[in-house]
Structure 1
Amino acid sequence: VSLYTFDKTKQCIGTMTIEIDFLQKKNIDSNPYDTDKMAAEFIQQFNSQAFSVGQQLVFSFNDKLFGLLVKDMEAMDPSILKGESGTSKKQKIEVGLVLGNSQVAFEKAENSSLNLIGKSKTKENRQSIINPDWNFEKMGIGGLDKEFSDIFRRAFASRVFPPEIVEQMGCKHVKGILLYGPPGCGKTLMARQIGKMLNAREPKVVNGPEILNKYVGESEANIRKLFADAEEEQRRLGANSGVHIIIFDEIDAICKQRGSMAGSTGVHDTVVNQLLSKIDGVEQLNNILVIGMTNRPDLIDEALLRPGRLEVKMEIGLPDEKGRFQILHIHTVRMREHQLLAEDVDIAELAVETKNFSGAELEGLVRAAQSTAMNRHIKASNKVEVDMEKAESLRVTRGDFFASLENDIKPAFGTNQEDYASYIMNGIIKWGDPVTRVLDDGELLVQQTKNSDRTPLVSVLLEGPPHSGKTALAAKIAEESNFPFIKICSPDKMIGFSETAKCQAMKKIFDDAYKSQLSCVVVDDIERLLDYVPIGPRFSNLVLQALLVLLKKAPPQVRQ
């Protein structure tokens, strides 16, 4: 055995990082421990002693025993000992000597509940909340760039920063997002991909009606089970707890307005109460993100929509031309990679032609075009079989897309040509000034609607004797407008409807119109809608009042 001599120029510890935790589980408490005082005590107890990386030891501080593990050591620059300015290059060492001016930094052991404060603690290695491999296109999301950036700014920006900075700002994380909009526009897809975008555990996905149970109290227990993991982790790790994502699809099924349900059981009300208290109640959770999805936001209890609960409300609407281009590009990328898409297919042209198509309808259009192309290579014989010789040359062409556009896929919020084509079957004959003037004035009003921001709502009344061509002229003006949404509100589709049913049918047409950037609604045969007859005081006041309100109501912002 020989005495080991330290090389004071290379083996003096400049900085050392030590992992710390309570030595005995029974001594665990939540009191804050000052790492600056801890470091001074450590230097005092272990001055001039040798340490190696991976060494374990016991350390007494404030009458508590702590277990230490040496994680990392850097050599002191010998020029500092001479009072000169040191070099910036750090040298790692495996064995070293603690001196009076060595710097000690403490870091909390993994899953430890130890509460460290002060400047001598390391910045905790926090896993980045955003997955570095995240890519919109690979995830199959198109046309939602703005929505994603808004959600990131509101819901995730605060979670990217270290807990210490968030605590100093007194900032609370956003706990809830509500995604709403027409069916097929990507709400469920977006929520699913938010889970993949984050470096979080797999999100819990719940279909709204699954929560409900036939036994008393079980529905509320199902809500509590969803939040149990987040509560347990917050108790254990505090501010360093990871984010728990809970996704409710069709949230309107369980969160209807309290008091709106018929019957005396009040089951829905207690489920809503339980969810409200879990998201933001007396015992606050700061490690959850609840994402709710619905196409009926008007049904949801307003207490759930306040800040602190589902405070970020994001409309996932119909994609614009750029969004449609992205969606079509995503759904045709595999065909393009395998040279199955003909060169005459222009995605930009298709994006222009598919006004008011939702994401699901664009995907359906691509499927329909593929089936049209496949059908060409099926032999017309007694048996259904594929012509393998021709199958090698299978290509989806521009003609396939336009055939599908013409015959297979029609947008739910678009223009049904059959609706107004039947009114102008024999064309329009400009027999004189009255007809020309109506068409010219109609064209001017269409241009005003398209080009003016000051008149989002333009109304016009065509009046004249029966069979003078009022409906045909209105349908012609609507057709010439080329608006993406054209609907004719006609009494021939409301035969036998009660007054209430008529009002609801008219309201649905106008609500659908508000979802489109540009829309045209033709209200045909107003007298029949109102049940008006010239003899006697008979007309429907309920329908009249509904019509007056709908015709005066301005559309939402940026909609005409």
Structure 2
Amino acid sequence: MTSRIMQAARCPTDELSLTNCAVINEKEQQFEQHVTVRNSAHKYVFTLKKHPSVNSGTIAFSLPQRKWAGLSIGQEVEVTNYNFDKSKQCVSSMTVEIDFLQKKNVDSNPYDSDHMATEFIQHFNNQAFSIGQQLVFSFCDKLFGLLIKDIEAMDPSILKGENTSGKKPKIVIGLLLGNSQVIFEKSETSSMTLIGKAKTRESRQSLISPDWNFERMGIGGLDKEFSDIFRRAFASRVFPPDIVEQMGCKHVKGILLYGPPGCGKTLMARQIGKMLNAREPKIVNGPEILNKYVGESEANIRKLFADAEEEQKRLGANSGLHIIIFDEIDAICKQRGSMAGSTGVHDTVVNQLLSKIDGVEQLNNILVIGMTNRPDLIDEALLRPGRLEVKMEIGLPDERGRVQILHIHTAKMRQYELLSGDVDIKELAVETKNYSGAELEGLVRAAQSTAMNRHIKASNTVEVNIETAEKLQVSRLDFMASLNNDIKPAFGTNQEDYASYIMNGIIRWGDPVSAVLEDGELLVQQTKNSDRTPLVSVLLEGPPNSGKTALAAKISEDSQFPFIKICSPDKMIGFSEIAKCQAIKKIFEDAYKSQLSCVVVDDIERLLDYVPIGPRFSNLVLQALLVLLKKTPPKGRKLLIIGTTSRRDVLQEMEMLDAFSTTIHIPNISSGEQLVEALELLGSFQEVERASIAKAVKGQNLWIGIKKLLMLIEMSVQCGLSSSTLSLLFLDIWPAFSTVNRICLRHKKLSSISWNEKLCGFPDDLLSRRIQYISSLQTILRTVETQYIHSYETMFYAAFQVTFTCSESEGSCSHQTIIHTSWLWLYLQFRANSIISRHRGQHIWQVKKKPHVYVH
């Protein structure tokens, strides 16, 4: 180690005295940047500066330096090179006591400590400082005397999580860097006025918490996101510039915060700017950049980066950090070429921003933070590494996060004892699944307004009841009332959406219904617990009116998922194909934002605009559904999809069945025992009437949907029909129609079948002949169904030849016709109305002339 005896001397000029450096002759090559000066008793560390005006063999000091080190002019001192340990001796923050150097220059003007700290770092960057050191500082054309009071070192272990206490180590000697924090405090006898955030240590400590607890800053539930951002974006900025340069490391220049509205993106960006101890960030609302004059929008972008460019030219790697925050960045950074118009203003703004963040002349002292809830709209070039490379989703808070947020918004009420003791924050956090931070804040406000409303007198004027206002407290009932009536989550479950589908409850008329619900519960548990299948989809298929939508709504309700959405055709009436695809896509994108989600895709063939004539359907919607049904949700998110359809054969041809994980068949009521069980559960008839119906349907094969059954029962109640007449309808009309309709909807063509029956009008012995009539029809239909029910590749057409021979009295006819299944339904409905009219003595339908119908 180089050591030499030299003589202390006076600084030759005032300019050299203000540098805070010990000055030696420029020919003294054996010394490096920092030296230790040892007198008879102590050692002192100085930063060296070389100048030709100093004699060789001497080392010049300013007056404050000689006072601090106890040196006299001509005194011999031992000078030795000094090397800093940059892992332990880099200054994180330094407290400096300040006062006017000369009493005659005292004034009452306020001095900005933030500006002062910036000038101090620029002037004394990369210099050695020791506790107790005295120096002179020139600011605003005035001289100030400074005294170093305290120094804290940078500790990278805090970022790594190794230093759990979060306290920074104290040091005696440190090296000041461009990202160090300087805090000024005036001496006890000083009359100077300091303003700004860097004026006292207390200001610094209240601004940031060493262990990253941001609750005092009004942020809750985002501790993990903050830690990830610091790890990605700021770990390199903790180290000295020369180490970063030796590693060839480049600082992260941009962060994109995205997520649902109200989750704290803007608040987080604002607090990041404060936490970094940099200059006050420039916050820009995206649309404010745009200007009606040509070129002004691009000029506004350049102005944002002007200060950073100027400082980097002066200080290079020692330049401080400049933070620019863009709120709603998607307003100015849309995909180039996507905006209509001939001016191309949006494109040139994007080009200007791209070149400033990472262009030919690179800036290493900037941090751009963009915020949006539509990351898909932003130009891809802006999201590449080197620009906004850190993309952080600020999603809906979990239960722990909701507890933190509610604690923040109820802190004042707890402080002044305005929060009732029966309010349990943890209970509220459990009840507010999928609530965003803004919605939780709104919930607290709504509860407060509910509590205050109790203390307002109901009179001609609005007055506060002073007698009871002093006892004002927000109780648990206030929160629950607001939860049920006032604030609903945008990405949560709205019970009104699916309550209408199960307003009559679920009627477990047999084992098939119980089996469907049990299978649905297994799929729900698989979605919750399995890490290998984040996407589970099931198709509920069956004949019309069998209760598929109700069962899907019941399965989704019992799942207790925080996000449940029903994608129903009745909400998309009049939508174009593109609008329908966008609506379906939005439902799935909203589902991806929740940790557990359930989407019910109801009546798929109606969503596809399918009609059998043609056949015709929307291929655009079909392809969108196929993609969304197979798309795996983001990491950490799980999705259950429940689809319903009455046309399995159609979906099979469209290759949509393969998009579902499993398929569950929903049958109709097919036996008398199941019908009686359903009637018993509904409780619509007396026990005697149910026994009569059970006797009439015993051993009979039925085919009736639960929704049709409910409608038929309500019709019987309104018409005052007896149980015997109702049993006739069960046996005669609905089974025949449902069976014919079920088969003929699946098959457009059946083999040639003809069936002749002569009925003389509607005779009195119709009741005695109905069993034979329906039995014959169902025998033929069962034969057809057995032969063709599984032939989905060939469509069949059903033709029934029926001969009617009616009496010649008024209101009757004699005609032979070949009828389509729709005419068969009309005929059966005619017979039903005749039965009802005879029962009530009314003529509901009379044929006035001969119908001449021939339907192919």
SS class of match (1:460): strand
Give the Cα separation in 2 of the matches to 1:287 and 1:57.
27
Q: Does 1:102 align with 2:79?
A: yes
Select which of 242, 251, 272 maps to 2:320. Answer: 242
Distance apart, 1:264 and its partner CA: 2.2
What is the DSSP-based 3-state SS (H/G/I as helix, E as strand, rest coil) of the residue aligned with 1:459?
strand
**Structure 2 residue aligned with 1:111:** 122
Over 3 Å counting, the alpha-carbon distance change for 1:368 and 1:115 in structure 2 is closer
Deviations 1:118-153 (A, max 9, x none): xxx972255546954314111100000011011111
Q: 1:555 to 1:41 in 2, by over 3 A?
A: closer
- The equivalent residue for 2:52 is 60
Letter in 2 for 1:354: T
- Tell me which of 501, 508, 515 is aligned to 1:430: 508
Q: Is 2:499 aligned against 1:421?
A: yes
**Is the Cα contact below 8 Å between 1:105 and 1:122 reproduced in 2?**
no
Partner of residue 124, structure 1 = 176
In structure 2, do the counterparts of structure 1 residues 323 and 94 end up closer, same or farther at CA, with 3 Å as the change threshold?
A: farther
Distance in structure 1 (CA, Å) of the matches to 2:582 and 2:560: 27
1:381 aligns with 2:358: no
Q: Alpha-carbon deviation of 1:23?
A: 6.3
Number of residue pairs matched by the alignment: 513
Say if 2:262 is the partner of 1:210. Answer: no
Q: Give runs of aligned pairs for residues 331-342 of structure 1, distance below 5 A.
A: 331-342=409-420
What secondary structure sits across from 1:155 in the alignment?
helix
Residue 97 of structure 1, CA deviation? 5.2
The equivalent residue for 1:30 is none
**1:512 alignment counterpart:** 590
Kept in 1: contact 2:127–2:176 (CA 8 A): no
**Match of residue 494 from structure 1:** 572
Report matched runs for 1:60-209 at 5 Å: 60=52, 69=62, 72=65, 92-93=69-70, 95=72, 98-99=75-76, 101-103=78-80, 111-112=122-123, 123-124=175-176, 128=180, 132-133=205-206, 134-135=208-209, 136-209=214-287
Matching residue's letter, 2:595: Q
Contact 1:356 1:414 in 2 (8 A): yes
Question: 1: CA distance between counterparts of 2:259 and 2:45?
Answer: 57
**Contact residue 328 and residue 362 of structure 1 kept, 8 A:** yes
Deviations 1:513-537 (A, max 9, x none): 0000000000111111111122221
Structure 1 residues 95, 365: closer, same or farther in 2, change over 3 A? farther
Tell me how far apart the structure 2 counterparts of residues 20 and 166 of structure 1 sit (CA, whole Å).
36
- Distance, in Å, in 2 between the alignment partners of 1:535 and 1:125 is 78
Q: Secondary structure at the match of 2:367?
A: strand
Shift of 1:313: 0.6
Aligned equivalents of 1:300, 1:35: Cα separation in 2: 58
CA contact (8 A) 1:57 1:69 kept: no
Distance 1:67 1:103, change over 3 A: closer
Q: CA deviation at 1:389?
A: 0.8
Match of 1:247, SS state, is strand
Aligned to 2:732: none
Instruction: Name the CA distance, whole Å, in 2 between partners of 1:41 and 1:160.
Output: 22
Q: Is the CA contact 2:403–2:425 (under 8 Å) kept in the aligned structure 1?
A: yes
- The change in CA–CA distance for 1:38 and 1:226 in structure 2 (over 3 A counts) is farther
1:523 equivalenced with 2:587 (yes/no): no
Partner SS state of residue 537, structure 2: coil
List per-residue Cα deviations over 1:184-208 (Å, max 9, x = no partner).
Answer: 0000000011111121111100000
Rounded Cα–Cα distance in structure 2 between residues aligned with 1:272 and 1:226: 14
Query: What are the superposed Cα offsets for residues 15-59 of structure 1, whole Å, 9 maximum, x if unpaired?
Result: 99x9999869xxxxxxxx99982748999xxx99xxx999x9993
Q: Quick one: distance in 2 between partners of 1:140 and 1:540?
A: 49
Alpha carbons 2:399, 2:430 under 8 Å: kept: yes
Question: Is the partner of 2:76 in helix, strand or coil?
Answer: coil
Query: Match for residue 474 of structure 2?
Result: 396
Q: 1:124 is aligned with what amino acid?
A: L
Instruction: Report percent identity of matched pairs.
Output: 76
On the 8 A contact 1:205/1:247 being kept in 2, the answer is yes
2:325 and 2:368 in contact (8 A); partners too: yes
Offset of residue 103 of structure 1: 3.5
Task: Name the counterpart of 1:363.
Answer: 441
Give the gaps of 5 or more residues in structure 2.
Answer: 18-24, 85-118, 129-172, 183-203, 639-856
Mapped partners of 1:19, 1:372: distance in 2 = 76
Q: Which residue is 1:29 aligned to? A: none
Residue in structure 2 matched with residue 37 of structure 1 by the alignment: 29
Q: Which amino acid aligns with 1:404?
A: S
Change (3 A) 1:15 1:126: farther
Displacement of 1:553: 0.8
CA RMSD of superposed structures (Å): 3.7
Query: Does residue 289 in structure 1 map to residue 281 in structure 2?
Result: no
**2: CA distance between counterparts of 1:295 and 1:345?**
33
How far residue 229 of structure 1 moved from its aligned partner, in angstroms, is 0.7
For the structure 1 residues 122 and 431, does the alpha-carbon distance in structure 2 shift closer, same or farther, using more than 3 Å as the test? Answer: closer
Residues 35 and 116 in structure 1, CA contact (< 8 A), matched pair in contact too: no
3-state DSSP of counterpart to 2:523:
helix
TM-score norm. by structure 1 comes to 0.84
How big is each residue's C-alpha offset from its partner over 1:432-489, in whole Å with a ceiling of 9 and x where there is no partner? Answer: 0111000010001000100101111111111112111111110000000000000000
Given that residues 15 and 103 in structure 1 are in contact (C-alpha distance below 8 angstroms), is that contact kept between their aligned partners in structure 2?
no
Distance 1:42 1:23 in 2: 16
Deviation at 1:111, TM superposition (A): 3.3
Q: What letter corresponds to residue 102 of structure 1 in structure 2?
A: V
One-letter amino acid matched to 1:198: L
Change (3 A) 1:337 1:19: farther
Which SS does the other structure have where 1:293 is aligned?
Answer: strand
Give the deviation of 1:166 after TM superposition: 1.9
Partners of 2:536 and 2:320 in 1: CA distance: 52
* Within-5 A mapping of 1:266-281: 266-281=344-359
3-state DSSP class of the match of 1:458?
Answer: strand
The alpha-carbon distance between structure 1 residues 284 and 113, as it changes in their structure 2 partners (threshold 3 A), is farther
* Change beyond 3 A, Cα 1:196–1:34: farther
Please say if residues 341 and 397 of structure 1, whose CA atoms lie closer than 8 Å, have aligned partners that are also in contact: yes
Partner SS, residue 261 of structure 1: coil
- Bigger relative CO (Cα 8 Å, ≥ 6 apart): 1
In structure 1, C-alpha distance between the alignment counterparts of 2:7 and 2:471, rounded to whole Å: 71
Unaligned regions of 5+ residues in structure 1, if any?
Answer: 1-11, 25-32, 75-90
The residue identity in structure 1 corresponding to 2:244 is: V
The amino acid that maps onto 1:37 is Q
For residue 122 of structure 2, what is the amino acid of its counterpart?
N
Q: Which amino acid aligns with 1:218?
A: E
Q: Describe the shift of the 1:322–1:396 C-alpha distance in structure 2 as closer, same or farther (beyond 3 A).
A: same
CA distance in 2, matches of 1:105, 1:448: 66
Query: What code does the residue aligned with 2:176 have?
Result: E
**8 A contact 2:221–2:402 mirrored in 1:** yes
Alignment of 1:299 with 2:377, yes or no, is yes
Distance across 1 between alignment mates of 2:27 and 2:228: 39
